[in-house]
Amino acid sequence: MTSPVPNMPEAIPNELSGRVAIVTGAGRGMGRAVAVRLAAAGADVVVNDLEPTDATETAESVVSDGGNAIAVAGDITDSSFVDRLVSRAAEEYRGINILVNAAGILRRTAVIDMPETEWDLVMNVNLKGTFLPSKAVLTSMRRSGWGRIVNFSSTAGKTTSTLGGAHYTASKHAVLGLTRHMAMEEATHGITVNAVCPGLINTEMVQQEIDSDRIKRYTDSFPIPRLGEPSEAAELVAFLASDRAAYITGQGFDISGGDLMV
Residues that bind ligand NAD (CB under 6 A): 24-25, 27-31, 48-51, 54, 75-77, 102-106, 125, 129, 152, 154, 198, 200-201, 203-206
- Residue 192 CB, nearest approach to ligand NAD (Å): 19
Q: CB of 141 within 8 A of CB of 187?
A: no
- Residue 66 CB, nearest approach to ligand NAD (Å): 24
- Residue 105 CB, nearest approach to ligand NAD (Å): 5
Q: Which is nearer to ligand NAD, 108 or 142 (CB)?
A: 108
SS3 99: strand
Residue 6, phi then psi, degrees to nearest 5: -75, 155
Q: Which is nearer to ligand NAD, 24 or 242 (CB)?
A: 24
Q: Which is nearer to ligand NAD, 105 or 114 (CB)?
A: 105
Residue 228, phi then psi, degrees to nearest 5: -80, 155
E-state strands within 32-118: 44-47, 68-71, 98-101
Q: Which is nearer to ligand NAD, 67 or 74 (CB)?
A: 74
Residues labelled catalytic = 168
Q: Which of 93, 94, 192 is nearest to 148 (CA)?
A: 192
- Residue 48 CB, nearest approach to ligand NAD (Å): 6
**252-255 sheet: strands from edge to edge:** 68-71, 44-47, 20-24, 98-101, 147-152, 191-198, 252-255
d(CA 154, CA 77): 19
